[in-house]
């Protein structure tokens, strides 16, 4: 367990692949005992940030603060499991790679298998597990050595809601045990549960803070209407419309909306699009 008050992260991080800029000037921090969410779509830079934190990609600029690699757990997107090994073999193989003794391994693996619902599948080939079970196995492999920093790249993409709830319970349990947890997701209802959120867009930091802070910092006004309001950027929320009024006025036929993280991120992306178009 890491000492109270420890935090990990990066300052003004830049990552490049050849001529392609994947990340620029991104700063991020995650404290021990908390869950931080990194949000963004395909190509936003989530994976590059997580790789830089995990030390698998060298920054082109800026600094990264992370624990020794043996005190780190990393689950890449598309679970890094060995499909032709059994569940048990996967856990012991990765446990040994992190330097766990046979005794420690035995003690922890039993508990983890039980907690992940994989106890009945110990001898099954990992390649024969469902998507949700694979993700749970990958997570179990990353936490068996009780890391100080746990990094998870979209563990819940394509995972059904029941397995997703279990995965979030497992990563919250790691935070409860003192780990700093970083989780990338495209789902804002998941990000809303994290202690802090970083929203990435085209390799840059778009929004950062607690979910409440991010929502409260939305400029102008977000309004709700039954039909699409004229002249201002709008988007669907179910059968109704939301629209962003940059000058804070309430256009005719609209009322004040109760803002959530989804609206806040959409407004930030609309502003970013305007900036790029200008």
Partner 1 sequence: MTPPEGPREVSGGAPAAPELAAAQGATRRFGELLAVDGVDLAVAAGEVVGLIGANGSGKTTLIRMLLGLLDPTAGRVRLFGEPPSRQTRARLGYVPQSLGLYDDLTVAENMAFSAAAYGSQQAVLEGELAGARDVLVRELPLGLRRRAAFAIALGHHPDLLVLDEPTSGVDPLQRARLWETIRATAEHGAGVLVTTHHLGEAEQCDRLVVLAAGRVVAAGSLPEIVGDTTAAEVRTPIWEAAFTALDLARLPVSLVGRTLRVPGNDAAAVARVLADAGIPAEVGSVPASFEETFVVLAGEPRAD
Task: Examine residue 40 and tell whether it contacts partner 1 (CB under 8 A).
Answer: yes
Helix (H, G, I), strand (E, B) or coil at 67: coil
Helix (H, G, I), strand (E, B) or coil at 15: strand
Q: What are phi and psi of 196, to 5 degrees?
A: -135, 155
Among 15, 91, 121, 194, binds partner 1 (CB under 8 A): 194
Contacts 24+ apart (CB under 8 A), 271-275: 271/219, 272/201, 272/202, 272/206
Q: Which is nearer to partner 1, 44 or 64 (CB)?
A: 44
Task: Examine residue 219 and tell whether it contacts partner 1 (CB under 8 A).
Answer: no
Among 90, 94, 163, 218, binds partner 1 (CB under 8 A): 163
Contact 223, 247 (CB under 8 A): no
Task: Examine residue 43 and tell whether it contacts partner 1 (CB under 8 A).
Answer: yes
- Least spacing, CB of residue 214 vs partner 1, in Å: 12
Pairing of strands 149-153, 72-75: parallel
Among the listed residues 158, 162, 163, 160, the one whose alpha carbon sits nearest the alpha carbon of residue 137: 163
Among 83, 101, 210, 250, binds partner 1 (CB under 8 A): 210
- Least spacing, CB of residue 197 vs partner 1, in Å: 11
Task: Name, in order, each residue with C-beta under 8 angstroms of 17's C-beta and a sequence gap of 6 or more.
Answer: none
Q: Which is nearer to partner 1, 43 or 253 (CB)?
A: 43
Task: Examine residue 161 and tell whether it contacts partner 1 (CB under 8 A).
Answer: yes
The contact set with partner 1 (CB under 8 A) reads: 33, 35, 40-44, 114-119, 130-132, 157-166, 168-169, 172-173, 175-178, 186-189, 192-195, 201, 210-211, 235-239, 262, 265-266, 269-270, 273
């Amino acid at each position: 367990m890491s000492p109270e008050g420890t935090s990990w992260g990066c300052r003004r991080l830049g990552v490049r692949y050849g001529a392609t800029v994947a990340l620029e000037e991104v700063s991020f921090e995650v404290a021990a005992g908390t869950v931080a969410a990194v949000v963004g779509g395909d190509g936003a830079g989530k994976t590059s940030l997580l790789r830089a934190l995990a030390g698998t990609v060298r920054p082109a600029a800026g600094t990264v603060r992370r624990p020794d690699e043996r005190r780190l757990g990393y689950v890449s997107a598309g679970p890094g499991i060995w499909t032709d090994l059994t569940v048990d073999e996967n856990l012991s193989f990765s446990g040994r790679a992190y330097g766990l003794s046979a005794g420690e391994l035995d003690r922890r693996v039993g508990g983890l298998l039980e907690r992940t619902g994989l106890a009945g599948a110990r001898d099954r080939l990992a390649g024969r597990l469902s998507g949700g079970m694979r993700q749970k196995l990958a997570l179990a492999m990353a936490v068996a050595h009780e890391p100080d920093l746990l990094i998870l790249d979209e563990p819940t993409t394509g995972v059904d809601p029941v397995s997703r709830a279990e995965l979030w319970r497992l990563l919250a349990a790691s935070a409860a045990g003192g780990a700093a947890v970083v989780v990338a997701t495209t789902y804002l209802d998941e990000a809303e549960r994290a202690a802090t959120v970083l929203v990435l867009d085209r390799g840059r930091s778009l929004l950062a803070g607690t979910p409440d802070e991010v929502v409260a910092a939305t400029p102008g006004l977000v309004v709700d209407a039954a039909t699409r309001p004229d002249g201002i950027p709008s988007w669907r929320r179910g059968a109704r419309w939301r629209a962003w009024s940059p000058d804070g006025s309430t256009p005719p036929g609209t009322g004040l909306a109760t803002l959530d993280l989804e609206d806040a991120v959409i407004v930030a992306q609309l502003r970013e699009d305007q900036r790029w178009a200008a």
